[in-house]
Amino acid sequence: MYQIVKKRRLNDIETLMEIKAPAVAAKAKAGQFIMFRLDEFGERVPLTIAGYDREKGTVTIIFQHMGRSTKMLAEVAEGDYIADFVGPMGKPTNMEGVNKVMIVGGGVGCAIGYPVAKEMHEKGIEVEMIAGFKNKDLVILEDEMKAATDKLYLMTDDGSYGEKGFVTAKLQEVLESGAKYDAVYAIGPPIMMKFTCATTKPFGVKTIVSLNPIMVDATGMCGGCRVTVGGETKFACVDGPEFDGHQVDFDELMRRNAFYKPDEAKANEHICHLTGGVRRG
């Protein structure tokens, strides 16, 4: 059992949790993910590691209340326990050979981009970041991102905070100004990552994306997380989750991610606020 030692509601749709998981914290690196399960009846759900503290033995996750399991997880109280918290999984972000990078985060993707920015910044890499949100109420981790970057561009779709516009428009503006980067790291909804890659390709900038396909066992055996990269089948759980964005078939990824939408909608018709068999105390 894994205890929730800290819980903080970031806004109406996102929650931060710090989980006591010493074995995971001991080996976690930026870019990797975990699989959680609420109880013995729960589904396995992947979430990217948003932070870790090796001394305290804790791992931080930030998640949107989107599906049945994440909505139920949001109801678990600080001090209570969940059944499974497995990881770290996937390959960590490759930071070798880069001196200056741009990280592009969309929505909750900023919670994934933040630990990458933080680790790079600590290594002496020059880090700039474009963080995009729908509106002011959904902005998260602003102070943390500022501390982990040399320059932060904060964008909102409606202009209610920061600059008005999409992250891709800002990225286009920065690249056209002559800024040079060893790599751009894009993390967010697939459609955002697709257009980020379309923006960087004419400039010849290496672009890495963190993919979020449907995932079941996270060991490479089920094939549920398969994606097409450079015309070859890859498994996001063991070959990724990061890939060369210019080689990813985003249209296929989005079609596959939408396959179970009707089933997800049906499952969301009733959410148990007692979180099933989650153990307390």
Q: Which CATH number fits domain 100-257: 3.30.420.40, 3.30.43.10, 3.40.50.80, 3.20.20.150?
A: 3.40.50.80
Instruction: Indicate the CATH number for domain 2-89.
Output: 2.40.30.10
pLDDT in tens, 158-177: 999 999 999 999 999 999 99
Q: What is the pLDDT of residues 243-265, one digit of tens each?
A: 999 999 999 988 887 766 666 66
Question: Is residue 252 within 8 Å of 16, Cβ to Cβ?
Answer: no
Give the tens place of pLDDT for each residue, 188-211: 999 999 999 999 999 999 999 999
Confidence of residue 278 (pLDDT cuts 50, 70, 90): very low
Q: What is the pTM of this model?
A: 0.86
Half-sphere exposure for 15 (CA within 13 Å, toward CB): 18
- The first and second tokens of residue 62, run together, are 């930030």
Query: Band of the pLDDT at 34, cuts 50, 70, 90?
Result: very high
Q: Distance between CA atoms of 211 and 248, rounded to whole angstroms?
A: 9
Q: Map residue 130 onto helix, strand or coil.
A: strand
Nearest to 183 by CA among 105, 244, 122, 265: 244
How far, in Å, CA of 16 to CA of 64, rounded? 9
Q: How many CB atoms lie within 10 A of CB 226?
A: 19
Cβ atoms within 10 Å of 59's Cβ, excluding its own? 29
DSSP state of 205: -
Residue 237: how many other CB atoms lie within 10 Å = 27
Q: Domain locations in the chain?
A: 2-89, 100-257
pLDDT band of 112, cuts 50, 70, 90: confident
